Structure 1
Amino acid sequence: MRQIAIVGSGPAGYYTAEAALKAWGDDVHVDIIDCLPVPYGLIRSGVAPDHQSIKGVSRRYEATSLAENVRFVGNVLVGRDVSVSELRGLYDAVILATGAPNDRKLGLPGEDLANVFGSASFVGWYNGHPNFADLDPALSHDTAVVIGNGNVALDVARILAKARAEFDGSDIVSHALDALHASRINRIVILGRRGPHQIAMTPKELGELGHLERAAPRVDPADLPPEAEDGALEPGQRKSVGHLRAFAALADAERAARPITVEFDFFASPKAIIGTGRVEAIEVERTRLEDNRAVGTGETYTIPAGLVIACIGYQTSPIPEVPFDERGGRFANDEGRIGPGLYCVGWARRGPTGTIGTNRPDGFGVIEKVAEDITEGAGKPGATGLDAIVRERGISVVEFHDWKKIEEAEVANAREGAPREKFVMVEAMIAAAGKG
């Protein structure tokens, strides 16, 4: 029997486990190892809490977890609790599916000021990720600036703009919901270095912005290219730009009826974050397009702001003993191969690109490479060897049936209208699982 360890229980990890089952059936055992006691990675802590339909993909992952030859091994941090070299000694293949949980740095003066956050930490805060539960962003200033022109920036702006009742049915955690309800922010500025034709925002998400209870989107008509040029765009992009045109045409009376403005500031590149101890403003340079690239014009202006959230991308966490591509922010690999018996998949392989579904062909692709390299099992101990190590080191492993106890408690603790109330502390998760 082949022994496979997958490190990371997000979409890439589960699609890879599914591929292993399809490739070898009963002739494989898969351990899915995660540093948290709870599975599903980005689905749990990255997808916007008001996008519950997207989170439904976890039911597919649950079906994989319930296979007899697949095991979820939660609350085990690879690189601390067990080393990569130890795993390579226990398993025929070790596949790193750790995603890209860290924010890319802006590289700007002042980015270390208080109340300046990356999207991984801010999204983790309102999604209840244990690493960011105590983030405590100050929402007392009237203006927030969101840097980026992708869906994550749009998610952050929407969450900041929503009324409390609009979170009904979502699994936003209560501490974030209470803070957002008390927020004094009434202007949210979304900065994009390029123009409307270059945004990475998808039409569905942009369309949501036009239907918020208390917030009106604003686009400067002067930023929009001639409408005739939209014909050269691919259909989805054309639809997105159509939403921007509708925002630009919004009647003044309709805007005036909503107390919050979500303002798209195109051709705007942040140059510095200004403040003493805490952010007070952001300096921005006006840009123009040259060969589809944003080039600074030298014209600068300042936006007073008390909160800045950078949504400019992510990078993988390095793991001891694993070669790392610092420039790419991912593990150094050759189409998923890192070294003998060591692989990577998903964002850990290619960087933070694509959708959740993109990880499925990626998972099947890496298993094809494993099958080429490992024609049969080498009689390695796999799960029994890992169990011996964690037992010796006193680690409370959370398996899938333990996670179901955590899930049951979260559902029982839910406020009215919410699907669950997530535990935001690892200790509380362990206790709910009934582990020591």
Structure 2
Amino acid sequence: MPKLRLAVIGAGPAGIYASDILLKHERAFDVSIDLFDHLPAPYGLVRYGVAPDHPRIKGIINALRDVLDRGDIRIFGNVRFGVDITLDDLKKHYNAVIFATGAVKDAPLDIPGIDLDGSYGAAEFVSWFDGHPDVPREWPLEAQSLAVIGNGNVALDVARMLAKHPEDLLPTEIPANVYEGLKKSPITDVHVFGRRGPMQVKFTPLELRELGELRDVDMIVHEEDFDYDEASEAALKTNKQVMVIDKVLKQWRARSVGEASRRLHLHFFAKPLEVVGDDSGRVSAFRYERTEPDGEGGVRGTGEIREVPIQALYRAVGYFGSQLDGVPFDAERGVIPNHEGQALNEHNEIVPGVYATGWIKRGPVGLIGHTKSDAMETVSHLVNDQASWWTPESPSEESVVELLDARGIQYTDLDGWHRLDEHEIALGAPQERARIKVVPRDEMVKVSRGE
């Protein structure tokens, strides 16, 4: 029986689901899958993109762990595509590759002053508070008042982590350096700005409700934002999520405020215009135009300009994919151009042997369910494209290990992840915490490799 040697680049949900779906897919050939990731630990954005106080979302890891622990997928962590292993290397050892590298950079926000000192991308901040090994150990938390631009779940994650009292994060897997950094923060006010109204937000009701449960934090909303137009009223009557969001906001509008030491302000109908800087080039204010409903579910400018004094700003306007060496890339959308997961070149022709799934395929939208359907679509094409697979000159499973060893790559494997996992859990046990993440890459590798 013929055999498919498949490389999957990216060990997050998209890569693991694609591997699992292929192994279960009806096919007339055997399968051998190697999963590569540039990080020493698997699970991608579930480990490094979900706030530590969201353990139920991290429960997805349990399902991913079950897939990996079957033992029919090999993992090579701490291996960087384009540096440690290239597309030409993959062609020598595999029949095809699926890229599942996600989207980890911040999407741009093109307004004056966005590059001022004190202006940050939310993705960078999320990586910091999640203990990503490739970001600095310290984060500048010097602002008393700051702005978060965006009305999605990432914006609320950032706002919540900044407004929440750090001792309330101790039961979670927050890294020690992150707790120490947050403890020194002088923050009193977090302002969240969105272009449209409260009935058009992108965050989920659960995320919103959690904000209102923060200890010693007042939720500040403004009555001027709740004069609903017909489109908002229609959404309120027909969309259950919108109904719950409205209910939560009504509860906050009825609350008395003024006693808490911190405040979280929600500003709707606010179009970003400029990040204002002081004489030293630091963020000093956020300037925006007040918008209003346009009668069709969107908004238009009113011409009224407002300004809020702040000392820092976080843009949470989306994620953006990164180009991969030797792989076609759509620089405008931040994705691998593709037809249902089959990579396309600049002439819109299918590139044999190269596939994509997850956010690098469709852009950074959708939840886990979308990731699974993405993977099914991609895998179906991979299975049917057998005639156009690569013909590797050295397809044995041992040859890849020999290649990495010859290059001196300190790769990690599944046993190594189990060692690191147990080590982190053990670090947290004395403090009755779920785990304490190991943050430095070299320490992660050393623990994983049992050195």
What TM-score does the superposition give when structure 1 sets the normalisation length?
0.94
Partner of 1:322: 327
2:386 aligned with 1:349: no
AA of the residue aligned to 2:435: R
Partner of 1:304: 309
2:266 aligned with 1:264: yes
AA of the residue aligned to 2:361: R
* Distance in 2 of aligned mates of 1:97 and 1:236: 30
**Aligned-partner SS, 1:110:** coil
- The worse-fitting range, judged by mean Cα deviation, of 281-290 and 2-11 is 281-290
- The worse-fitting range, judged by mean Cα deviation, of 101-110 and 382-391 is 382-391
2:419 aligned with 1:423: no
Deviations 1:314-339 (A, max 9, x none): 11110111111111111111121111
Runs of 4+ in structure 1 off by over 6 angstroms are 375-379
**Aligned-partner SS, 2:161:** helix
Question: Unpaired runs of 5+ in structure 1?
Answer: none
Call closer, same or farther: CA 1:119–1:378 in 2, change over 3 Å. Answer: closer
- Alpha-carbon contact 2:134-2:441 (below 8 Å) kept: no
- Alpha-carbon contact 1:171-1:419 (below 8 Å) kept: yes
Q: Quick one: which of 377, 398, 404 aligns to 1:390? A: 404
How do 1:24-423 and structure 2 match up within 5 A? 27-138=30-141, 140-226=142-228, 229=234, 231-251=236-256, 255-275=257-277, 276-290=280-294, 291-338=296-343, 339-374=351-386, 380=392, 381=395, 383-414=397-428, 416-423=431-438
* Distance in 2 of aligned mates of 1:384 and 1:59: 29
- Alpha-carbon contact 1:11-1:43 (below 8 Å) kept: yes
* Distance in 2 of aligned mates of 1:34 and 1:366: 19
CA shift, 1:47, in A, is 0.9
Call closer, same or farther: CA 1:109–1:435 in 2, change over 3 Å. Answer: farther
AA of the residue aligned to 1:75: N
**Aligned-partner SS, 1:273:** strand
- The worse-fitting range, judged by mean Cα deviation, of 210-219 and 60-69 is 60-69
- Alpha-carbon contact 1:161-1:214 (below 8 Å) kept: no
- The worse-fitting range, judged by mean Cα deviation, of 327-336 and 223-232 is 223-232
* Distance in 2 of aligned mates of 1:405 and 1:430: 10
Call closer, same or farther: CA 1:364–1:65 in 2, change over 3 Å. Answer: same
What TM-score does the superposition give when structure 2 sets the normalisation length?
0.91
Call closer, same or farther: CA 1:62–1:287 in 2, change over 3 Å. Answer: same
- Alpha-carbon contact 1:221-1:245 (below 8 Å) kept: no
**Aligned-partner SS, 1:87:** helix
Partner of 2:347: none
AA of the residue aligned to 2:406: E
AA of the residue aligned to 1:16: A
AA of the residue aligned to 1:42: L
* Total equivalences in the alignment: 432
CA shift, 1:28, in A, is 0.7
CA shift, 1:230, in A, is 5.3
CA shift, 1:125, in A, is 0.6
**Aligned-partner SS, 1:325:** coil
* Distance in 1 of aligned mates of 2:396 and 2:265: 54
Deviations 1:40-83 (A, max 9, x none): 00110001100111111212212221233310110111111111
CA shift, 1:404, in A, is 1.2
* Distance in 2 of aligned mates of 1:409 and 1:133: 22
The alignment's C-alpha RMSD in Å is 2.0
**Aligned-partner SS, 1:5:** strand
